[in-house]
Amino acid sequence: MTQLQSGRKPESAISIQQLVKSLQRFGEVDELTENLFLIDGREMLLAAFSSQTYFESKGYYWFSLAKTKYERLRSQQKDHAWVVLLCGETSQFFIPLQEVEVLVSKMPPNRQDGRWDLYIRFENERAYFGVTRLKNHVDATSQMGRFEQIWRNPGVAEAYADEAVIIPDGLPPANRDTVQVLRVIRDTNQSQYVKQLYDFRCQVCDWTAFSPKLKNLWYCEAHHLQPLAKRYGGPDHASNILALCPNHHCMMDLGIMAIDPRSLKVVSLTPSESAWRETLLVQKRHGLNSVFLQFHFSHIYIQGASAEEAVSEGVPSL
């Protein structure tokens, strides 16, 4: 993204550039207007800056919330809207819109131009966010982690991957042992978003399947380019997910198929099928991040090996 408007002073421009750089790992960052950003086509952020010099003289960081930009932020879904308070060049506090609304509703704008005064102050190693008066505040200590949790620590568990049909077991019961399993808790909203974006069709071959037993009637699978497993630590976010048919999902997992991060060309160790697309189908709203394509291409794909060599050498354990 070419930053054209945000950052009126050099130090505020530096802080906002650092913010944008940190957000680009989640997807494309668009500047809607001055200090108002859209990430991955879904998350809207309003950034405000206060200098370290101001903090050193006053003991707190001070910001100004414009009514017009606040109303623009409120037009976004509340779960995907944030006020980002930039303190100097290093500290970033991501405040959910719901918390801003609660505090702002208690206080009318206190300036003639219809703005609210926002604050960040520190007390006993905690950071507090307040509106107009310092005594009206909420705890804001967790900083960037509050924003990242929508990718890395979702609150929705996925019991069965990709809504696979559960087939009743009519065979004699198998021997069973009780074991502890450490499982990644997945955010079904992220995979559903990608599947719906492509009408439950594979981005490589356009395959889908219909079944009245499925919640969405049509079936495809969500593939994480940078796997969620602990050894890889990939994020459970749309920018890291492809909608694929079971065959191409398997081939991507095995490392015998990949997407060239620069050209989006579909490459594979096996002879290509006539039904394959030459390049991956990608919609802009997807927000697919080339960082994750590169990770898969570099760490999962078995580059430069023939199919016979791949079998003899083995493939990565996912």
- Give Cα 191 distance to the centre of its chain: 11
Q: pLDDT tens, 225-279? A: 999 877 788 888 889 999 999 999 999 999 999 999 999 999 998 776 667 888 9
Structure tokens at 178: 């009780």
pLDDT in tens, 124-166: 777 888 876 545 555 555 444 545 544 443 333 332 233 333 3
Q: 26 or 137: whose pLDDT is higher? A: 26
User: What is each CA distance from 310 to 16, 95, 223, 270, in whole angstroms?
Assistant: 46, 48, 21, 11
For residue 225, what is the DSSP state?
Answer: S
Q: Is the model's pLDDT at 167 over the cut of 50?
A: no
Does this model's pTM top 0.85? no
Name the percent of the chain lying above pLDDT 90.
22
3-state helix, strand, coil in the chain (%, to 5): 30, 25, 45
User: Which tens digit of pLDDT belongs to each residue from 290-313?
Assistant: 899 999 999 999 874 443 443 344
pLDDT surpasses 90 at 169: no
Q: Which residues contact 130 (CB under 8 A, 6 or more apart)?
A: 103, 118, 119, 121, 136, 137, 138
Of 94, 40, 84, whose CA–CA distance to 291 is shortest? 40
Determine the pLDDT at residue 45.
Answer: 92
pLDDT digits (tens, 9 = 90+) for 204-218: 998 998 887 777 788
What's residue 242's pLDDT?
96
Give the long-range contacts of residues 244-252, CB within 8 A, separation 24 or more: 244/202, 244/203, 244/204, 244/220, 245/202, 245/204, 245/205, 245/207, 245/208, 245/220, 245/221, 246/221, 247/207, 248/202, 248/204, 248/205, 248/223, 249/221, 249/223, 252/223, 252/225, 252/296, 252/300
- Position 226 scores a pLDDT of 92
Fold of the domain spanning 10-152: Trna Endonuclease; Chain: A, domain 1 (3.40.1350)
- Using pLDDT thresholds of 50, 70 and 90, give the confidence band for residue 93: confident
Sheet arrangement for strand 81-87: 29-33, 36-39, 43-50, 81-87, 91-96
Confidence (pLDDT) at 71: 87
Residue 67: CB atoms within 10 A of its CB come to 14
Write down the pLDDT at residue 110: 63
Distance (Å, rounded) from C-alpha 278 to C-alpha 267?
Answer: 9
Structural domain boundaries in the chain: 10-152, 183-313
Residue 187 — pLDDT band, cuts 50, 70, 90?
low
Give the pLDDT confidence score for residue 195 in this predicted structure. 92
Q: What is the pLDDT of residue 305?
A: 45
| pLDDT range class, residue 173, cuts 50, 70, 90 | low
